[in-house]
């Protein structure tokens, strides 16, 4: 009886070994495939930073808005401890406004994607590109100038110095990747108001009408970049978040083959400073989040800044004490 039992155990052991081997081979193959997919992504090669002696300031045409301010009269709060939480991941999403022949330009859009593993929430916070801030090693300037001067690292350091939060990684997508991505998922639906629809028709998009509109990549990009309709850059950042939220809703229930097809199209237009393993960890974390309830915010918050002319630039001078506190509330709850 014991010999039969031992034989049965040996048979079971063989089956388990074969099954385990098959799982191991599948896992290795899947890991290798994911690695090959992620290798399509461009890695951030820090381009030589611009010397502080060569820094520049974007100037604007006077329009009667805002008060004139001397840069020396703008006082900043002192440095304090940078806040981090092992359960909170902050990824900076960067939209690159690069023209043909340029290696790096100012960041066209900046959003902090926050995943809170403790609460399962995911949030998207726009940083207004016209905010006047401190740039480490340079003169005070618009926040998007820091990307032009020193890439992802200087932009992260600028956010850390002004808002006392740590950025865990950066993901940049240029305009080609944006349009490819929207086209690959079959477009998105956005509701246009009368002014937005009129503006887009003047840009050559004849199908832009008031109400819900099906957008391809080019139309979605044009919509996300509207600035002179509504509340200037505030409306613009809101449109950018709407586009991302619409895309997330479209993709979150997609099949694995559809997601692979999307990755093949978009990843060659993506640049990051994260490793493949870090990206896979992020993907696993994101799957545990409530993607159907993506919360959106904006810094500076209402009533916490002033429109001002500084160095011939029309900028938003934020009350950093107020905005630091608000951003920490958003991110760390």
Instruction: Tell me the average pLDDT across 162-170.
Output: 96
Is 90 exceeded by the pLDDT of residue 317? yes
| Per-residue confidence band for 1, with pLDDT thresholds at 50, 70 and 90 | very low
Whole-number Å distance between alpha carbons of 297 and 302: 11
pLDDT digit string, tens, across residues 125-157: 999 989 999 999 999 999 999 998 998 999 999
Q: What is the pLDDT of residue 45?
A: 67
Is 70 exceeded by the pLDDT of residue 12? yes
Tell which wins on pLDDT, 227 or 222.
222
Instruction: Tell me the average pLDDT across 32-55.
Output: 78
pLDDT digit string, tens, across residues 254-278: 777 777 788 888 888 889 999 998 9
Give the bridge partners for 316, in sequence order.
131, 307
- CATH code of domain 81-332: 3.40.630.190
Cut 0.85: pTM above it: no
Whole-number Å distance between alpha carbons of 18 and 58: 65
The answer to whether 88 and 115 are in contact (CB under 8 A) is yes
Q: Which residue has the tokens 């600028």?
A: 158
Whole-number Å distance between alpha carbons of 145 and 126: 16
Structure tokens at 46: 């820090």
Q: What is the pLDDT of residue 255?
A: 75
The answer to whether 113 and 240 are in contact (CB under 8 A) is no
Structure tokens at 304: 């916490």
Tell which wins on pLDDT, 282 or 133.
133
Instruction: Look over the chain and give the mean of its residue pLDDT values, rounded to a whole number.
Output: 85
Instruction: Tell me the average pLDDT across 10-27.
Output: 71
Tell which wins on pLDDT, 98 or 82.
82
pLDDT digit string, tens, across residues 174-216: 888 888 888 888 899 999 999 999 999 998 998 889 999 999 9
Domain ranges of the chain: 10-39, 81-332
Structure tokens at 279: 């990206």
Query: Please, what sign has the CA dihedral across residues 318, 322, 324, 329?
Result: negative
Q: What percentage of the chain exceeds 70 in pLDDT?
A: 87
């Amino acid at each position: 009886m014991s010999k039969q039992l031992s034989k049965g155990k040996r048979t079971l052991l063989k089956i388990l070994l074969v099954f385990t081997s098959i799982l191991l081979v599948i896992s290795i193959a899947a890991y290798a495939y994911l690695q090959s997919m992620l290798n399509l992504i461009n890695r951030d090669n820090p381009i030589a930073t611009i010397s502080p002696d060569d820094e520049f300031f974007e100037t604007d045409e006077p329009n009667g808005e805002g008060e004139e301010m001397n840069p020396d009269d703008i006082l900043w709060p002192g440095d304090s401890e940078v806040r981090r939480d092992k359960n909170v991941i902050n990824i900076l999403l960067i939209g690159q406004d690069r023209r043909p022949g340029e290696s790096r330009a100012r960041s066209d859009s900046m959003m902090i994607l926050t995943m809170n593993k403790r609460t399962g929430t995911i949030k998207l916070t726009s940083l207004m590109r016209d905010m006047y801030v401190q740039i480490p090693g340079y003169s005070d300037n618009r926040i998007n100038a820091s990307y032009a001067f020193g890439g992802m690292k200087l932009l992260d350091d600028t956010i850390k110095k002004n808002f006392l939060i740590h950025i865990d990684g950066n993901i940049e997508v240029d305009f080609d990747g944006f349009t490819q991505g929207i086209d690959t998922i079959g477009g998105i639906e956005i509701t246009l108001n009368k002014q937005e629809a009129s503006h887009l028709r003047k840009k050559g998009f004849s199908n832009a009408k008031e109400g819900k509109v099906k957008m391809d990549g080019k139309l979605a990009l044009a919509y996300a970049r509207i600035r002179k309709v509504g509340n200037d850059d505030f409306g613009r950042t809101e449109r950018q978040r709407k586009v991302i939220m619409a895309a997330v809703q479209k993709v979150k229930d997609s099949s694995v083959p559809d997601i692979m097809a999307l990755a093949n199209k978009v990843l060659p237009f993506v640049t990051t400073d994260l490793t493949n393993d870090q990206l896979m960890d992020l993907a696993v974390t994101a799957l545990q989040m409530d993607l159907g309830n993506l919360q959106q915010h904006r810094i500076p918050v209402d009533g916490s800044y002033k429109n001002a002319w500084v160095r011939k630039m029309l900028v938003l001078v934020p009350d950093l004490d107020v905005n630091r506190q608000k951003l920490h509330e958003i991110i760390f709850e």
